[in-house]
Amino acid sequence: MTALLIEAKNLSRYYDNHCAVDDVSFSLAKGEVLGFLGPNGAGKTTTMQMLCGNLAPSTGEIHINGFDLLDQPKQAKKCLGYLPDTPPLYKELTVDEFLEYCGRLHGLGFREISQAINLAKSRCGLDEIATRLITNLSKGFQQRVGIAQAILHNPEIIILDEPTVGLDPIQIKEIRSLIKELGNEHGIILSTHILSEVQESCSHVQIINQGKLILKETISGLNQRMNTNTIKVVTRSSINLNYFSEISSISSIENPTDTHYFIHHDSNSNPTELIVEIIVNAGWGLMELSPIQQSIEDIFISLTTKNAEQSK
């Protein structure tokens, strides 16, 4: 069994009477790249700050590579590399000077620092600008420097908050490839608003909304959801859903109103003809039938909207 690098149990965080994170539990193993999604104000950043030890949870516990983050913070944080959404750069330094400074903060020896800096620069494409002042670099290259400092000490866990913000399409592709490469030897949490980035880079995904986790799924499971096609059906009168119970390819039916239905089915089998036959023979009056295929954006919006409605 793969050892867990992060184990978060029943995390909650309150700001006065406001609950920003509500009883969140999840884990991260070596070789996993976890995409962490959520709308603005969902509790995503608060959760990540708790995982990094920058913010104490109101309740719950966090173990980083076996170390309790509250009781053994130094040992736990040695296992972490973190890139916040705004890279913490000293812009008056050159790239080499800044990475050397970061290496010394991590307690690396002289020979270790040299090797670590060379590897981080190579991985992040910084070799040609190593002697330039950070303030003179483009936003994209500054983002790369931020990633380099996060991986400099070869941590078991790498947490990246919006790592491709400000990058051009070529740089985004390169960073995605880097994340996949790092994911082979590390555990990675990737926070992003770019939903396609999760599909490209991650092995797992979780969505948080209003402080609660509303989805924990593998990317293969998410793709299966997307490949589950949907048929929108509108009838003149309400229908008896029991009539569809014998159609094995139908996975579920949503019924938002008395005469509107969303019938989800396996992409390998299309039950449209059977559905039409049942509705017509029963005399329910078929007014509309149209196919719908979900994207990751559709799933995200559906889950967050449904969660918001249930919370009212």
pLDDT, tens digit, 9 for 90 and up, residues 193-210: 778 888 888 999 999 999
Tell me the pLDDT of the chain averaged across its residues: 89
Pairwise CA distance, residues 146 & 190, whole Å: 14
Task: Tell me the CA distances in angstroms from 288 to 208, 235, 270, one per residue in order.
Answer: 34, 7, 17
| Cβ–Cβ < 8 Å for 33, 201 | yes
pLDDT tens digit string along 128-154? 999 999 999 988 899 899 999 999 999
Question: 65: which 2 tokens?
Answer: 């590579």
At which residue do the structure tokens 């948080």 appear? 208
Give 29's strand partners: 4
Q: Which residue has the higher pLDDT, 107 or 304?
A: 107
Pairwise CA distance, residues 108 & 98, whole Å: 14
Question: 120: which 2 tokens?
Answer: 């981080």
What is residue 250's DSSP assignment? E
pLDDT tens digit string along 241-270? 999 988 988 988 988 888 999 998 887 788
pTM (2 d.p.): 0.77
Task: Tell me the CA distances in angstroms from 96 to 44, 101, 167, 170, 297, one per residue in order.
Answer: 32, 9, 21, 24, 40
Q: Which domains does the chain have, with CATH numbers?
A: 4-218 (3.40.50.300), 229-293 (3.30.70)
Collect all residues with Cβ–Cβ distance below 8 Å to 242 and sequence separation of at least 6: none
Question: 309: which 2 tokens?
Answer: 């409605």
- Secondary structure of residue 67 in the 3-state scheme: strand
Residue 309 binned pLDDT confidence (cut-offs 50, 70, 90)? low
Q: Which residue has the higher pLDDT, 238 or 297?
A: 238
pLDDT tens digit string along 64-113? 999 999 999 999 999 999 998 888 899 999 999 999 999 999 999 888 99
Residue 177 has pLDDT above 60, yes or no: yes
